[in-house]
Amino acid sequence: MRIIHFNKREGVAKLKINLLDDLWHLSKIIEPNDLITGRIERKIKFSGSEERAKAERKFYTAKIRAARVQLESTFLKIFGEITEGSDELSKGAHTLDVKVGFEISIEKDWKEYQIKRLRDAEKAASAPKALICALDDEQATLAALTAVGISYLGQFQLGLAKKRYVEKAQERMQELVAEIIRIEKQSKPDYLILASPLFWKEELLKKLQEKESKIGNKVKLENVSAGSRRGIVELLHQGVLDKVIKQSQLQKEFKLVENLVIEIARKGLATYKFANVKNAVEAGAVDDLLLTDSLIADYREKNKFEELEQLIDAVEGQGGKVNIISSDNEAGDKLDGLGGIAVLLRFKI
């Protein structure tokens, strides 16, 4: 996601949708009565019999007052009533289908956690999710995986299979190891992917662990046929890199909920269920508020969302963090089992 323009005082954000993940973030941000400006697509039929009439797709810019949103596999559907738009559009209920590549504007009373989600989505697009090293006996290629694609960082000539140059090859391998460790410390990616034919990846991992013993905790080993850019492309075609991006968000949610479960088990700095959470918020003791998206949807459906909103506002006012956890993964399922709402505390109450 790219934030083209944002003005909190006016309540307006103009956004460019770059990734499918951006649609997920928007589905958590857009609320009933928000004003959304975007493109409405319609089929226009030309004169002729009903069966033979030609039709073309036409886009209209329109503003709708959102009623609800529905996340599909490749687009976000926003249902609502048109407030501004072309005279060619009938008044009443319409839908905006938001897709990757589209720009939209959102007008609303922005909450701090919603602004944070926007900023986080924008940062996530450029933050390194993984450092990749594809290698074979001749060469190695380094690249960084971000949410918007691959950035190539350099190549190393190795010559590991040439017996006459064993000493030189080992020097080059040590240079590669030093560069990987330097980049890993600097950019702190979630994963380090080592990919090769044969056993070269295991050899590289062994040398990395000799220098940094804990680096193996974030390593994934994969098979490719070459240590050139072709090896990186193979990882893309295998779907390995798509999985890494998804796992990165899941990992963050999992760690939050795992910390929560640990604190609950030891009767430490955590509590759950609405009444207990409310008491913690009133005591100013909340560091992290965790909510599942299914709980939010349930409260909206029952016209009780104002109760949650008051808690969210209070937590933000106290400098706490609000975390929306997806119910579609293991972390969200665990949190739903605790009532869908919980907090990590600054101090015991």
CATH number of the domain within which 69 lies: 2.30.30.870
How many domains is the chain partitioned into structurally?
A: 3
Whether residue 259 sits in one domain with residue 204: no
Is residue 259 domain-resident?
A: yes
Whether residue 275 sits in one domain with residue 175: no
Q: 247-282: string of b/e by CB count within 10 Å (b at 16+)?
A: bbbbeebbebbebbbebbeeeebbbbebebbbebbe
The gap from C-alpha 238 to its chain's centroid, in whole angstroms, comes to 20
124 burial type by CB count under 10 A (0-12 exposed, 13-18 middle, 19+ buried): buried
Residue 249, pLDDT score: 65
- The last residue of a domain, from among 77, 109, 141: 109
Is residue 123 domain-resident?
A: no
Whether residue 262 sits in one domain with residue 334: yes
Cβ–Cβ < 8 Å for 106, 30: yes
Cα–Cα distance measured from residue 127 to residue 182, given in angstroms and rounded to the nearest whole number = 16
Residue 46, pLDDT score: 56
Is residue 248 domain-resident?
A: no
Q: Is 174 helix (H, G, I), strand (E, B) or coil?
A: helix
HSE at residue 123, side-chain half, CA atoms within 13 A, is 7
Whether residue 229 sits in one domain with residue 264: no
Cα–Cα distance measured from residue 231 to residue 137, given in angstroms and rounded to the nearest whole number = 13
CATH number of the domain within which 195 lies: 3.30.420.60
Is residue 121 domain-resident?
A: no
Whether residue 181 sits in one domain with residue 221: yes
- The last residue of a domain, from among 238, 261, 281: 238
- Helices 112-126 and 20-29: crossing angle, nearest 10°? 170
Q: Is the pTM of this model over 0.75?
A: no
- The last residue of a domain, from among 193, 211, 238: 238
Summarised one tens digit per residue, pLDDT across range 41-64 is 766 665 555 555 566 777 788 899
Q: Is 138 helix (H, G, I), strand (E, B) or coil?
A: coil
Residue 52, pLDDT score: 53
Tell me the mean pLDDT per 10 residues along the chain, length 349. Answer: 93 89 84 92 60 66 91 83 80 84 94 88 76 95 81 89 73 93 89 93 95 91 95 88 70 87 95 96 95 86 85 87 82 93 94
Whether residue 296 sits in one domain with residue 273: yes
Is residue 245 domain-resident?
A: no
Whether residue 146 sits in one domain with residue 100: no
Whether residue 167 sits in one domain with residue 70: no
Residue 44, pLDDT score: 63
Is residue 301 domain-resident?
A: yes
Is residue 122 domain-resident?
A: no
Q: Of all residues in the chain, what percent are helix, strand and coil, respectively (each to 5)? A: 40, 35, 25
Cβ–Cβ < 8 Å for 49, 116: no
Residue 13, pLDDT score: 97
Range of the domain at 163: 130-238
Cα–Cα distance measured from residue 64 to residue 39, given in angstroms and rounded to the nearest whole number = 10
Is residue 125 domain-resident?
A: no
